[in-house]
Amino acid sequence: MINGVEYFSLNELNDKRGNFTKLYSSNWQSATSIKLEESFLTTSIKGTTRGMHIQIGLSANYKIVSVIKGVIFDVLVDLRKNSETYRNINQVELTAGNTFIVPPGVAHGFQSFEESKILYLSDKSHQPISDQGFNVKSLPIKWPLDFTIQSDRDIALPTLDDFIRNVSID
């Protein structure tokens, strides 16, 4: 487990009208100091792999990530050199109704088992110049699906070792 990462199963209330789900609470232990600035919603078709992404420098951010629809294989990597869990990898299958908090200095990526919608809440505004990452294929893990759909940007990202050699994250 990576220090500062917290996973939550959301309580969904269902009745004849549909459902109601709380996606965020400032009462969650790690969320007490998070002041949200932006949100993003991403849809990924089956087989899509995204990541590994991280905001660095002054744009390093807390992210609250919620699986709104679908099933994903989610991966986090601790890149904080001063962390007890430096270079640790969390890999977990998540379904709709799962939320987790990602602290600054932890890279995130995932692979969709089916069409998926992911909601990101961030405590900092996205800065394209600070948007960095490394190639998912350089991780020492077995991804469940073949890499069939990736962005050109993600394919061109450096390896994890090259990223760590060239970028300082404290």
CA-to-CA dists, residue 62 to 13, 35, 47, 155, 164, angstroms: 27, 9, 27, 25, 20
* Known catalytic residue at 7: no
Residue with tokens 């679908």: 70
* Known catalytic residue at 53: yes
Q: At residue 59, what are phi and psi to the nearest 5 degrees?
A: -90, 0
From the list 7, 86, 120, 126, the catalytic residue is 120
Asked whether 101 and 63 are in contact (CB, 8 A), the reply is yes
From the list 7, 53, 86, 126, the catalytic residue is 53
List the catalytic residues. Answer: 53, 120
